[in-house]
Structures are given as C-alpha cells and as structure tokens.
Structure 1
Amino acid sequence: MSTYSKYFEKIRVRPDRQAEVKSHAPRCQWDGCDEPGTHRAPVGRMREGEYFRFCFDHVREYNKGFNYFSGVSDSEIARFQKEALTGHRPTWVMGANSGAKAASDFSHIRSGRAGYYNRVRDPYNMFGGGRAEPRQRQAKPLEAKALETLGLDTKATGADIKARYKELVKRHHPDANGGDRGSEDRFRDVLQAYRLLKQAGLC
C-alpha cells in the first residue's frame, strides 16, 4: 500500500499571514529586542498620529505604563475633559456672541413647531399653536354664488345653511304656495344651490 496519493497534489495550503506580516515588519523599537515590530503604540501627548513599533510582548508592557496626561496638572486635565464634551470646539454662553440676537430673531422660523404650523392647519387649536379661533374657509366662486342664492354670506355655518334651505323650500314649494308657478324657478335655484353646498361639504 502506497502512502502517496494523487489527491495530495490538489490540496492547497493557505499561506501563513502572520509570517508574511512579520517578514515585512520593521524591527521592534524596544531596547535590545530583535523581534519584528508588528504592533503600533502611540508616542504620546502633542504627537498624535505618531506611533512606536513594538513586538507583542513589548507593546503590552508599554501600554501598561502609558499615560496620555503624564506631566500635566490636574486643572489642565479637568479643562481637557470639559472641552472634550464639545469636541474641543468653541462654545458661547446663550446670547453672549454678537450674532446670537440676530439668530434668535429667526429661531421661530427654523423651529420644528413653527414649520409644522406653516404646513398643517390647526383650526381648532388641538396642538396649542395659539390660534383660538378657527380659520375661516375661503369660499370658491360657485359656493359663494350658491350662498348668495340662499341669501347667506360666506361666514354661514352648516346649521345656518340647512335652516335657510328648509325655510326657502317651505316658502317656494308648489304645494306650499297654492300652485303659484312663478316661484318654480326660484325653488329650482334653491335646490341646486343646496346640492352644490352639500357636495362641497359646507352642510
């Protein structure tokens, strides 16, 4: 029985990536170490973006003793921590900078609440926008003419329209006026006007 098989030739061995990295890595910067420096360690304060290259054992030892704030007073550390809250960007007290007043004049325009009220009507003050009275609906020309036919103005409510319609129907209906044919046209106009207002949703 042979220990060689033709299938052994088809087996592909994945290359050792760690060995490849180690072969191209610079030498460890720890004194007296000849291992490859495969790991980075920060140089220190005010030298951000610069790194030492150490082997695995020495980078662990370096990181144990690393202190970003070494040689810095407690007050400076506290100031750094406070500035870190705003990403080390300048801030101002509310209203202290010269442009604050001008910016505050337009703050209601940029706010979400003002934008909401500019886009959405709130006629019954459900969202507390300060409008106590419902906004008057602008009547279209045909609706205004129909209201005029009923003898009403554009401020008339649905109840006003229904009451006026009932009154005019009783007055101009052929059965109610003793068969007077002269008011048939007026009766027809009242019916058409009421139908148009009903389709428009005003009553």
Structure 2
Amino acid sequence: MKLDSKYFDTIRVKRRGPGGAKPKPQTQECAWEGCDKPGVHKAPMGRDNEGEYLNFCVDHVRQYNKSYNYFSGLGDDDIRKYLKDSLTGHRPTYPMGHNATSPNAPKPRRRKRGEPFDMFGETDAAQGRTEARRRVRPLEQKALETMSLQSNASGEDVRVRYKELVKQLHPDANGGDRGHEDRLRDVIQAYKLLKQSGFC
C-alpha cells in the first residue's frame, strides 16, 4: 500500500477540509411559553395527536407531566368504552361458538369413526345425556359415606345433608352436650373435602 496514494486520504474517519465534520443536530427550544432553554425532553401532545410530541426543558416537562390527562374532555361512558376496547388492543372481537337455539345454528356433527374417545361428547348429546358423571375417588366415597350419602349424590344433596347434620350434631342443638363433637368434626371435614373436589 502506498502512503501517498490519493485513495489513502479518502478512507480517513475525519476528512480534512470544510465538508469533513458533520454538523451537530440543532436542539429545539422549550415549548413552554417564555422559556428559552433547550427542549431536550419529549412529551406527548394529547389524545388526538398520536405520535406527535412537544419538547420541554427538564423543569417544564415535569410540570407538564403532572397536569397531563389523556382523557381530558371525555365523558365517563367514553372513558369506560375506551378502557374496555383497550383490553383487545382496539381491535374488533367476534363471538365464539354458536347458539344452539337459534334457527341458523349448525347441526351437530355425527361421530366419526376415527374418533374412538368421543372427545367432543357428541354421543352423549345424541343419547340425551347432558352431563357425564365423573368417577368417585376413594376419599370422596369415604366422605360421602360419612355424610350417609350415595355415590351418585348431587351437589345440592351434599349441601342439604351437611346443613341437616350440623343442626343435629351441634352442641347448642343438644343442650350443650359434647358427645357428638367427634362426629360433627368428621362431617365438617368430609364436606370440606367434597367442596374442594368440586361436588358442591
């Protein structure tokens, strides 16, 4: 490489001459009335001017931000509507599924041969069964037996039976007799277990 080549001077970082150095960017003045400090801090202009900003100095941007209200000029209903729409990013939403009672509702599909596990419950719906009974686990069965209920008891049956047993076994109902206290404790624990399991 020749050090005195004409190309060697053009690859320098700072070129010599009047056009070599880049001019520094000009900072705008503070947008606050009567302030001549440089406005280096950006602040939003408002709701109707999205993407536009005002430039303030540090003191005036603090004052502006304290008094800034995005919803100024809007009523309560408009604010509620805006906040509700903001949950979906102000994009339209559409209902999922269909209303089975409407005349335009699609007909239920027949069960396909390739669906051996009946994941969509179409055979139960076709046979008139609206709710499939889940299998009762051993602890739940024991809790039902503690409350003197069958394994096919509904949630309402469990609640009604629990109220009856508490009224019978509570010491206040037996004149202060604490003889049924252990049975009452077992009934309360059984009810709590059934409640946590989703029976009632």
For Structure 1 versus Structure 2, the TM-score category normalised by the shorter chain is: 0.3 to 0.5
Alignment TM-score, normalising by the size of structure 1: 0.40
Which one has a bigger Cα radius of gyration? Answer: 1
| Larger proportion of helix | 1
